[in-house]
Amino acid sequence: MATDEDDTTGMHPLGMRAVLDKLCDGDPDDQLVLRDLAGGLGRSAFGVLLLVAALLAFLPPGVAGAVSGPLAVLVGLQLLLLREHPWLPAFVARRGPQRKTLVRLDRAGDRWFRWLERLIRPRLTIVIDHPLATVFTGLLLVLLGILLALPIPFTNYIFAGLLLLYALALLERDGALMLISWAAGLVAIYVFGAVSGNLAAMLWAWVAALG
């Protein structure tokens, strides 16, 4: 298990179970502020933020679109820029879920998390560490985050599952899982975006709505 010193340096990335235990340990009524979650973890913080986005995406669609989608886009953009540490704007950094929400999601998915733990492990780490691979991962996360944020019916669980794969690949440094995530992400982007011919129009409408 990583020590506090390891977490601070970011040289020993936290695994999925360690992250979930840290998130769920404490007063259930506490708010988990994203700034605190990302602080002091180095590159592991990208995986932590993406894991939070993935878990919240399993909540009702309104929550998924308003929180998880933009957070996934923000993580993706910073991977595109090859940042070593995540940056969060103040209005995002001071927000976050209540711990009891993540505890509930952790308990609901415990069986699946334990199954995944037996499959994922550090391997093919060049797919995680190579700059071009990181840029490609960031691009896919931006597109998936946009699609999650858009009001496409009955898709939040699909995108939640996809974000979870990316988060686990980053946290566990599993390049094989990242390759699977790339393939699944490209299929989802094609099916829900390009094949309908409406991705650009939906993106423009979403950006206009933000303004």
105/120: higher pLDDT: 120
- Residue 91's CB is within 10 A of a number of other CB atoms, namely 7
State yes or no: pLDDT of 189 exceeds 80. yes
Summarize the confidence of residues 140-149 as an average pLDDT: 90
Take residue 126 and report the two structure tokens written for it.
Answer: 């060049």
Determine the structural domain holding residue 122 and report its residue range.
Answer: 4-210
Distance between CA 76 and CA 163 in Å, rounded? 11
CA distances, 62 to each of 132, 141, 148 (Å): 33, 19, 10
Query: To the nearest whole percent, how much of the chain has pLDDT over 90?
Result: 32
Residue whose pair of structure tokens reads 């190579």 in the numeric block: 130
Amino acid at 36: D
Report helix, strand and coil shares of the chain as percent, to nearest 5. 70, 0, 30
Give me the residues paired with residue 123 across strands: 174
Number of domains in the chain: 1
Residue whose pair of structure tokens reads 């995540």 in the numeric block: 86
pLDDT digits (tens, 9 = 90+) for 10-33: 434 566 677 777 777 877 778 777
What is residue 15's predicted lDDT score, i.e. its pLDDT? 67
Band (pLDDT 50/70/90 cuts) for residue 105 is confident
CA distances, 202 to each of 1, 59, 152 (Å): 44, 22, 10
